[in-house]
Amino acid sequence: MRAMSDDDRQFAPATQRNREPILEVLRRTLPSQGTVLEVASGTGEHAAFFAPQFPRLAWQPSDADPASRVSIAAWTAGIDTVRPPLALDAASSTWPLSAADAVLCINMIHIAPWPATEGLVAGAARILPAGGLLFLYGPYKRDGRHTAPSNAAFDASLRARDPAWGVRDLGDVSALAAKAGFNLAEVVEMPANNLSVLFRRQAG
């Protein structure tokens, strides 16, 4: 296997804009130690930025796309607390990790079919302990309505690219999570009309 290089890194401009606000939420909600599974890590920029901020946490990035996993490995090379990226399809009924203390998923569920969200919630329920955090970030509708005209336009563009994609309604995601044994713990308004949505795994 060839060595990773800076040339393997992909770039997502949104990461530079959202990483600091997301970090503020993570600082007060992630466990003090344990394993964080990041689902759909994309370029790997978030993992490279977040992991050094939490030196007692093992950061496990993942992505279904092989090219993304190459980029993740390039971005996180040399960061001791970041594990090699896993091939993980959120929609799959089996994941390559059996336990984690928190699950993060940033900007995925609107650019994936709904079964990916169903799989994400089900998978998080399988591997999280009681009280474990499921953290979601991205745009959402609330009570069936977009929170801003820009989100409505973004939703239309997503559905034009793939009818199975689109901005999800927070109520639908919360109902799905409740059925899987999660409590909605907090919704945090974020810049650019996005939300951080935090669920906690129920006991039992």
Instruction: Please tell me the distance from the alpha carbon of residue 21 to that of residue 119, in angstroms, as a whole number.
Output: 27
Which range is least confidently modeled, 7-11, 60-64, 155-159?
A: 7-11
**pLDDT reported for residue 7:** 82
161-164 long-range contacts, CB within 8 A, separation 24+: 162/113, 164/112, 164/113, 164/114
Alpha-carbon distance of 91 to 118, in angstroms, equals 7
For the segment 184-196, what is each residue's pLDDT rounded down to a tens digit? Answer: 999 999 999 999 9
User: With 90 as the cut, is the pLDDT of residue 92 above it?
Assistant: yes
Which range among 9-23, 94-108, 109-123, 181-195 shows the weakest confidence by mean pLDDT? 9-23
Residue 13 to residue 172: CA distance in whole angstroms: 28
CB 146 within 8 A of CB 167: yes
What contacts 24+ positions apart, CB below 8 Å, involve 129-132?
129/99, 129/101, 129/201, 130/201, 130/202, 130/203, 130/204, 131/200, 131/201, 131/203, 132/100, 132/101, 132/102, 132/103, 132/200, 132/201
Domains and CATH numbers, the chain: 6-201 (3.40.50.150)
pLDDT at 5: 56
Residue 20 neighbours by CB distance under 10 Å: 10
d(CA 159, CA 7) in angstroms, rounded, equals 32
How confident is the prediction for the chain on average, in pLDDT? 95
